[in-house]
Each structure stands twice: as structure tokens, then as C-alpha cells.
Amino acid sequence: MTVTANEKPVPGGNFVKVELDDGIAWVKLNRPEKRNAMSVGLAEEMVKVLDDLEIDDRCGVVILTGEGEAFSAGMDLKDFFRATDNVSDIERMRAYRSTRAWQWRMLMHYAKPTIAMVNGWCFGGAFTPLICCDLAIASDDAVFGLSEINWGVIPGGVVSKAISTLMNDRKAMYYVMTGEKFGGKMAEQLGLVNESVPADRLRERTTELARILLAKNPTVLRQARMAYKYVREMTWEESAEYLTAKADQTTFIDPEKGREKGLSQFLDDKTFRPGHGTYIREG
């Protein structure tokens, strides 16, 4: 954990590096010499970092990325797999719990928007946090792979479930069964990332996207993200009931009163046309 000029500590430690820049929290997996392979220590640190940033006013958007040439080479084969082979059930359970906590439970329902910026190697277990971020941008020269089949394991953890939420079955099965690698453009075609851009545009484009999100009404943005994620698991009837209640809740809790202001700008003042311009926030 480092300390800024105003003495408020910046979250992070040995394995996770955080940089705060004008509303954006750059959260970096920070084991470049191990291609950011995810160890037990990294998982424990990441849980704390995400927990701290969620209530840190300096963070409006999280960008998850990797230090050095990798996004992440997946689960650490030594400091996660081998390290949990010969420990007590309780220690093993705790290691799995930290990993599950940050890679999908926290990211999937995180209070702030999240973008994965895939800057390089992205293998196996790294697909889970990638998919559980709201949005993702890759470098054209990033390399993705479900390599598990090539060294005697299945895409476990929760990788197989994660890919089934974004990839179609034929494509997902193809990569599960062949372990073939693919690049950023293919990741875009497969729906794993929103866009793939040249390496020298990656940071700029990801920052641009984060700035778009930072300009939105944060309460409504959070409610919209949550609503979308929850309805994926619901029936149409349940979704209709839930979304109506969620919309009412959003209106009720929004300190900016965005709905009333938006309606007024459109209907009364005629200063805003959703199809033409941008709602003028005063918050």
C-alpha cells in the first residue's frame, strides 16, 4: 500500500498495483516476471483492493489489466495448483474462496463499472475475470488460449461456465477441445471483448471508454448494469416484475433525480433530444 500526498493510502501491495488517475482506478495484476499468473497471495490481495476501491471516492471506474507483457497467464501452476495440493482442506478452501471472490463474485456484482484491458497473454483462469468485467478492450496482438486441454486438466475453476455466458456453444467447445490460441480480433468476433485495437491505441481507447462511463449518472449506471446481469438468469415474467421494481427503486434512490430532469429537459424545456444530443447533467 502506497501513500499519496494527501496521506490517503492507495490500495494494493506486492501482487496488485493500483494507480488512481482522475476517477479511474488502474488495477494491475503485478507479477510480470510470472506473466501475472494468479497465485493465492494475489487473490487475497485483490479481494482487499476491490473491496477498498468500491467505497473509495477517487475511483469511479476500475480498469483491470496486467503489468508488463501479459494480462494474465492464468492460474499459477505452482503457487496455486501445486501449493494447494498438499495443504489442509481448510487452507485449500480458503484459497479457492479468495479466488472465487474476486474473479467472479465481486467483479460480477461490483458497485462500480469495470473494464478489462487485455494487454497481452490471456490464458485459462484469466478468462473468468475478463468475462466478469462489464466491458473489455483487447490489443490486436494479445494472445488468448484455453490451454488446459494441452496439459491434462479441464477449464475448471469457473472458466467453462464463464465462457458459456459469452461464446456460442460451437465456438466455446472448439477452443475447450483444441486449446488453440487466438488473437485480439478473434476475441472481438467471439464476443469475448468489445473491441480489439492496435497496441499503441489500447490505453487511449480504454481511457476514452472509462471517461464516457464517468460522465454518466453513477446511480443509474450501477442500477442498469445490475439489472442487466440479474435478468439474464430470470424468466420473462420475473424480469418484467423485477425491472419495473428496479426502475422505481432507481428513481427513488437517485440523488440527481435524473429521470425527472431528463423528462423535463425533453418535454418542458425542449433542450434534450435523446436521438440527437446528450442529457445535460447538473449533478
Q: Which is nearer to ligand COA, 147 or 160 (CB)?
A: 147
Q: Are 120 and 71 in contact (CB under 8 A)?
A: yes
Distance CA 264, CA 270 (A): 8
Which of residues 11, 41, 60, 74 is near ligand COA by CB under 6 A?
A: 74
- Using CB under 6 A, count the residues that bind ligand COA: 16
Sign of the alpha-carbon torsion through 221, 222, 228, 229 = positive
Q: Write out the binding residues for ligand COA, residues 13-52 only, by CB under 6 A.
A: 34-35, 37
Q: Is 109 helix (H, G, I), strand (E, B) or coil?
A: coil
Altogether, the residues listed in the chain come to a count of 283
Q: Which is nearer to ligand COA, 34 or 112 (CB)?
A: 34
| Residue 126, φ and ψ in degrees, nearest 5 | -70, -20
Distance of closest approach, residue 103 Cβ to ligand COA, in angstroms: 12
Distance of closest approach, residue 201 Cβ to ligand COA, in angstroms: 23
Distance CA 196, CA 92 (A): 37
Q: Write out the binding residues for ligand COA, residues 113-152 only, by CB under 6 A.
A: 121, 123-125, 147-148
Distance of closest approach, residue 255 Cβ to ligand COA, in angstroms: 43
Q: Are 223 and 214 in contact (CB under 8 A)?
A: no
Distance of closest approach, residue 209 Cβ to ligand COA, in angstroms: 26
Distance of closest approach, residue 68 Cβ to ligand COA, in angstroms: 9
**Of 127, 71, 56, 113, nearest to 229 (Cα)?**
113
Q: Is 78 in the site for ligand COA (CB under 6 A)?
A: yes
Q: Are 192 and 132 in contact (CB under 8 A)?
A: no
- Which of the ranges 4-12, 75-83, 84-92, 233-241 carries the binding residues for ligand COA, by CB under 6 A? 75-83
Q: Is 77 in the site for ligand COA (CB under 6 A)?
A: yes
Whose cell is 472448439? That residue is 174
Q: Is 73 in the site for ligand COA (CB under 6 A)?
A: yes
Alpha-carbon 105 to chain mean position: 11
Distance of closest approach, residue 8 Cβ to ligand COA, in angstroms: 34
Q: Are 137 and 115 in contact (CB under 8 A)?
A: yes
Binding residues for ligand COA, per CB under 6 A?
A: 34-35, 37, 70, 73-78, 121, 123-125, 147-148
